[in-house]
């Protein structure tokens, strides 16, 4: 569902907002701005040769997806907060991976700013990854020393 939401939003932006153009949502705070990110989060690796950077980021994304799936398989069904958080991260990673595979870059469009200070543009996938990471940290802090990843689920 996260993948569909992310890809649907990006498709809508790609088809309705010209590249590098903006539509104000909340004047002075949030715009929809169509940009393309050839690098990683916040433009990291954006200056690399396009093919090299794309391959490195695709490989990194694939490793991250496999790692998150591995963690999910090790959780008990009762660890719902961690399952939700890792599912958010997985869905976001798959959304940005799809962009890299289809376009060689990621479509970003959420532009948050105030008084000339701009947060780097981001997208739905980035939002789910961020919320998932924060929720995951919160859940891990509440485990009270228990290792939720110490054994596979029953039946595996």
Annotated catalytic, 126?
Answer: yes
Catalytic residue (choose from 108, 111, 147, 156): 108
In the residue annotation, 79 being an active-site residue is answered as no
Show the tokens assigned to 141: 């802090």
- Residue at token pair 């596979």: 152
Instruction: Tell me whether strands 117-118 and 30-37 are parallel, antiparallel or unpaired.
Output: unpaired
Nearest to 69 by CA among 83, 50, 53, 49: 83
Beta bridge partners, 122, equal: 110
Active-site residue numbers? Answer: 108, 126
């Amino acid at each position: 569902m996260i993948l569909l939401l992310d890809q649907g939003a990006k498709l809508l932006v790609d088809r309705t907002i010209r590249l590098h153009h903006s539509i104000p949502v909340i004047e002075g705070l949030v715009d929809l701005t169509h940009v393309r990110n050839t690098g990683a989060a916040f433009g990291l690796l954006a200056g690399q040769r396009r093919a090299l950077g794309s391959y490195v980021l695709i490989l990194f994304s694939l490793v991250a997806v496999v790692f998150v799936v591995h963690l999910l398989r090790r959780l008990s069904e009762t660890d719902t907060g961690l399952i939700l958080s890792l599912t958010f991260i997985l869905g976001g990673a798959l959304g940005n991976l799809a962009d890299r595979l289809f376009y060689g870059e990621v479509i970003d469009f959420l532009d948050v700013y105030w008084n000339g200070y701009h947060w780097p543009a981001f997208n739905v996938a980035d939002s789910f990854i961020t919320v998932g990471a924060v929720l995951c940290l919160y859940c891990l802090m509440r485990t009270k020393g228990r290792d939720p990843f110490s054994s596979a689920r029953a039946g595996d």
